[in-house]
Amino acid sequence: MSLFDYGKRIATLALLTAGLVSMPTRSGVPAGPKPSAARMADSGALTVMTYNVEGLPWPIRFGRQAAFRQMGDRLAALRREGRQPHIVLLQEAFTEDAKSIGRQAGYAFTADGPGSDLRSTAAPTPADTAFLRNASFFAGERSGKLLGSGLQILSDYPIRSVRRMAFPDFACAGFDCLANKGALLAMIDVPGSPAPVAVVDAHLNSRRASHVDDDRSLYAYRRQIDALAAFLTANLRPDTPLILAGDFNVGPRPSRLSYFLSHLRAISGHVGGGVHDALRTCETAPGRCGGSLPADAAYSLKRARDWEIVMPGSRLAMDVAGISVPFGHDAAGEMLSDHVGYVARYRLSAAMSAHLDSAGSRLRERSDQAGCTA
């Protein structure tokens, strides 16, 4: 969704949210008690959750503190049972209450995405310059970055290093421009991997919720994909295992999906090992995931906004082995956020040629079903 639902609130927001901007923190800062050695020793499996927590600041959203406490409580309860996701990628964690989820849940390491002050140095093309000339104040495109990226990675495993990227000013549209959206890359020492695993959290421009026309939001979206692809290829060595997840705001739009998939394949050509889409893998091959997708996971797959993509590199196999949904609809049909939070479980092992030969086909199935070619 867009950072703001109502354009009429922009003047009020400019005055009231300046004090809510989150400041960047050091990478790998301990966020809670360290996980037990027994839980750290399971080197044959890795669990990763992506979750847009709807942590927008007041006055856009209010009364969200109880929901964030419930999120932290639920993750803490899973930890007591030894079932917590090893790594969590959050989006829209703009407020301090939203950022407290990891501490409450007991994650040992945390990294925050770009703050409001990080700027891209990418040079605009003539088309980008023309795009900027048409920026609208009333759609929030000329008000600067009032908020940071809202990205956060929580981890049970040590975070070795962090890289941050903010999208260029010419790569945003509508009220999304008020947040400094971009990507957060953390190199994490995962047991069972021959090298640190690159875990990337991202949040891309919305479509209708940005309150600009589709052509304008699509232009910004494509330039964000360009920037994300350049950021990853510049910061990842070939063969680096990669998990790329977040709110990609693809939706049921062939123009967005085809551009997204084509760049994913280009990135996978850099790191090797093919491309796995966790939800689609379990939807098309339920036997390997212990059964059909949970209802809320199927709902998330249909929305096509929250993605978890794996590119294992040529030395590591990361086979999707299951999907669970800690944060979905309750018995009354309500959710703690406007997004589902789901966990993908991976089996880690040494890569095999047969595995690599077949891995690249899974995202093509998703593209074909949507009627797109990448």
> Which candidate, 320, 322, 316, places its Cα nearest to that of 349?
316
- What is the pLDDT, as a whole number, of residue 21? 32
> Which candidate, 160, 186, 191, places its Cα nearest to that of 39?
191
Question: With 80 as the cut, is the pLDDT of residue 353 above it?
Answer: no
Cα–Cα distance for residue pair 167/220, rounded to 1 Å: 10
Q: Which residue has the higher pLDDT, 60 or 258?
A: 258
Question: With 80 as the cut, is the pLDDT of residue 6 above it?
Answer: no
State both tokens at 108: 């040992």
- What is the pLDDT, as a whole number, of residue 364? 56
| Number of other residues whose CB lies within 10 A of the CB of residue 97 | 18
Taking only the tens place, the pLDDT of each residue in 294-315 is 999 999 999 999 999 999 988 8
DSSP state of 280: H
| Residues 6 or more apart whose Cβ sits within 8 Å of residue 357 | none
Question: With 70 as the cut, is the pLDDT of residue 115 above it?
Answer: yes
Model-level pTM? 0.84
- What is the pLDDT, as a whole number, of residue 148? 94
